[in-house]
Structure 1
Amino acid sequence: MWTKQEPVTDGRSSKAQTRFGGLPGPFWILWSGTLINRLGTMVIPFLSFYLSRERGLSATEIGAVLAVLGVGGVLSQPIGGVIADRWGRRVALTGGMLATGGLMLALGYAGSTPVVIVVVFLLGIALDLFRPASQAIVADLIPPEGRPRAFGMLLWAVNLGFALSMALGGALARDGFLTLFWIDALSCAVFGVLVWRGVPEGPTRREGIDRGRVADVLRDRVMLIFVSLTLLCAFVFMQALTTLPLAMERQGLATSSYGLVMALNGLTIVVLQPLIGHRLGSFDRTHGLVLGMVLMGAGNAATAWVSTTPGYAGAVAVWTVGEVLLTSIGSALVADLAPVHLRGRYNGLYGLAWGLGSFTAPLGGTHLLEAGASVLWYTCAALCALAAVGQWALRNPVRRRLAADTG
């Protein structure tokens, strides 16, 4: 797992091995596809508006549809991980992207609410099928010291593309939503085709062997503990998309204020990642993760003290730095822990933590907010502190695993 290795190649093209900035050519194809896909991500951010304006659903009905999407999302990455290990990274990623694109169009042309519900559930499953394969491709291509930077670069592409797509999608939505469905579907297809044609298959698939089982992952105590700690952080992180706008609204701040604050989140990542990304590989995994969790906790604690747009922006800037560390180094640690033939399944389990966080965040967060904004934000800070303590306690088992893998 931890031994340095040359990027895998199928021998079809020497160009695939060309390196840009110390990262292999196929990684930049994956990166480019990710950016294109996020530039076209327009349906999900505006789904509530679509269901309300175009479908005429009530707030309660919209909540139910979004919950169905969330249930599908919980299943998505574990399924995608199995596909990536059993049938190959490219099958999982390209297949997931084509399925997502097809379901986007099916949703845009759905004729009744029951059909919308069925399509939304299937869309929830399809949306993140690609993600374990994408992360496994990075682990296949890049040795351990380069992985935090690579995962950080993917995060950078996601945020850059998403920020631009939100602005473009908002403008296009004023003239009707069907264009958004077509753009989203086409961006998914482009991503899938790019990876299919430009990224070599992983080593286990080229050997034609799938020796792994989900039970093998579940026996890895270090991984299970890390995933549990990630779930705590995912619950906290998702409050930015669920309860933060509600808390700001209760303090009399306009919707535009929330938009500005979240734009700062993306801008911070876009600016910060190129500055620190190349240094992340030198971080001790535990030290980097603990620091990220502490910063996320500090940012959430600070949120309890603010009441203005600049105040919220400052708090968000703090936890955004924590987000960069947690996501970049966390994905790298999963790649370190996973045997080659189980990389898809390990990433699927890691993704399950984020899926459960997305599902539980609005349920738990809104209840905490009803008890008071300070209760919510201090609880989030406490969960981050608990995760940091747990990660620190896990440091020796992690180091023993990594030492054994390099031995």
Structure 2
Amino acid sequence: MTTTTGTTTTTTTPPVRQPRTLPGPFWALWSGTLVNRLGTMVMPFTGVYLTQARGFSVAVAGLAMTLFGIGSLMSQLAAGLLTDRIGRRATLCGSMVGTAVVMLALGYSTALPAILAGMFVLGLLIDAYRPASSALVADLVPAALRPRAFGLLFWAVNLGYAVAMVAGGWLARLGFSWLFWADAVTCTVFAVLVWRAVPETRPTHDERPAGGFGAVLRDRAMLAFTVITLGQALVYLQTVTMLPVAMTDVAGLSPSEFGMAMALNGLLIVALQPFVSARLDRFDPSRVMALGLAVMALGFAATAYATTVAGLAVTVAVWTAGEIVTAGIGGTIVATLAPAHLRGRYNGVYGFAWALAAVVAPLAGSRLLTAGVEALWFSVGGAGLLAAAGMLAVGPAIRRRTAAAVAPL
């Protein structure tokens, strides 16, 4: 637009209209994620399958799950590397097809060596899609819409998992092989959807400057955020490690009472999270993340006083509120920090923090619970508050990176 005042002519450029809707390829990725999670039936029932259907001891089942955990720990870094080298779409689809094959092999394996090897390979493959999926979102979705996009993926995962738990229990009565087939089919559908509807977004060779995991490790803001993520994961993963033990063995709730209280978590996420995420995307992600972590910390600390179903339900509602606030923010921050050609590696390091926490959380939590419920939940709450404080401390660095990314050339 050109305006003339006296002898002065001023030219102004109208502001660029930012897209307000998520692109079609994102919705294909979202649909595939939902379908995949609808079929996530094997892992929650793995211990039951190995002990009841295959007749192995609890110790053998524990060994199998340990091997799975080791594979999962390795998978995030390897998948992050592949995401940047061979491509986002190829890594995601390859991991899903590989997971489908291993699922079927495990479903029909009876020999212990084959089952143990299969569990390790499954750990390598089953979550290898995550760095590729996150890199695709960062590549496809404008920065302003990323909190909403990552939040919607979080919602799809939780909705699919909730349905899968119910359907998995029903299918298990018909035979455990149905679980493996359901998981394999949904993994394959995910791969086909992405392959057909999502373009490859990896920068070309000419667009990729030098860099690798060394660049990630030299990024102080990313390292700080990874430590914060580890703290967040150590707090949250107590929900599937020590919380069931503390509430049933120590507080004396029955499994059905515990399940009723925990169902509130899924109900609140499914009902509220998409609406909350859509309204939080206008705020600074680091401050939103810190708020959510602090609320989660308070909810878990209050669990020390929960001795009834109602008391537990209140604490579940509090830390679920924090979980809803943080949904999608972690992926948004990694997308801000990561250069386009290293998004796979950055997300691999981010995923590694969660995988490491899955190993450490039960070990640390069990020792703390041995000392008492107050020791466990006050320590967990303290860790959450430290993570929130760390998020506030690293916030200025994240905001500077955000400003640099959107600065006009």
TM over 0.5: yes
- Counterpart for residue 305 of structure 1: 305
- Counterpart for residue 387 of structure 1: 387
Helix, strand or coil at the partner of 1:288: helix
Please provide the CA RMSD for this pair: 1.8
Helix, strand or coil at the partner of 1:186: helix
- Counterpart for residue 155 of structure 2: 156
The CA deviation at 1:111 is 2.5
Deviations, residues 273-306 of structure 1 (Å, cap 9, x unaligned) = 1221211211211210110110110110111111
Contact 1:104 1:185 in 2 (8 A): yes
The CA deviation at 1:202 is 0.5
Q: Which runs of 5+ in 1 are unaligned?
A: 8-18
Measured at CA, do residues 205 and 258 of structure 1 come closer, stay the same or move farther in structure 2, by a change above 3 Å?
Answer: farther
Return the letter of the residue paired with 1:295. Answer: V
* 2:62 maps to 1:29: no
- Counterpart for residue 368 of structure 1: 368
* 2:328 maps to 1:328: yes
Return the letter of the residue paired with 1:88. Answer: G
- Counterpart for residue 5 of structure 2: none
How do 1:166-315 residues align onto structure 2 when only pairs under 5 Å count? 166-205=165-204, 211-250=210-249, 251-315=251-315
Q: State the distance in 1 between where 2:159 and 2:333 align.
A: 24
Q: Which moved more, 1:99-108 or 1:260-269?
A: 260-269
Q: State the distance in 1 between where 2:157 and 2:69 align.
A: 20
Contact 1:98 1:189 in 2 (8 A): yes
How do 1:64-79 residues align onto structure 2 when only pairs under 5 Å count? 64-79=63-78
Contact 2:67 2:116 in 1 (8 A): yes
TM-score (ref. length: structure 1): 0.93
Contact 2:28 2:197 in 1 (8 A): yes
Q: Which runs of 5+ in 2 are unaligned?
A: 1-14
The CA deviation at 1:405 is 2.2
TM-score (ref. length: structure 2): 0.92
- Counterpart for residue 44 of structure 2: 45
Instruction: Give the number of the structure whose alpha-carbon radius of gyration is greater.
Output: 2
Deviations, residues 92-118 of structure 1 (Å, cap 9, x unaligned) = 100010111111111111121111111
Return the letter of the residue paired with 2:132. Answer: A
Helix, strand or coil at the partner of 2:379: helix
Q: State the distance in 2 between where 1:232 and 1:154 align.
A: 22
The CA deviation at 1:262 is 2.7
Measured at CA, do residues 208 and 226 of structure 1 come closer, stay the same or move farther in structure 2, by a change above 3 Å?
Answer: closer
Helix, strand or coil at the partner of 1:75: helix
The number of aligned residues is 392
Return the letter of the residue paired with 1:61. Answer: V
The CA deviation at 1:205 is 4.4
Helix, strand or coil at the partner of 1:133: helix
Q: State the distance in 2 between where 1:353 and 1:262 align.
A: 25
Return the letter of the residue paired with 2:183. Answer: D
Deviations, residues 321-340 of structure 1 (Å, cap 9, x unaligned) = 21223241111000011100
Contact 2:277 2:327 in 1 (8 A): no
Contact 2:87 2:202 in 1 (8 A): no
Percent identity of paired positions between Structure 1 and Structure 2: 50
Q: Which moved more, 1:161-170 or 1:62-71?
A: 62-71
Return the letter of the residue paired with 1:80. Answer: A
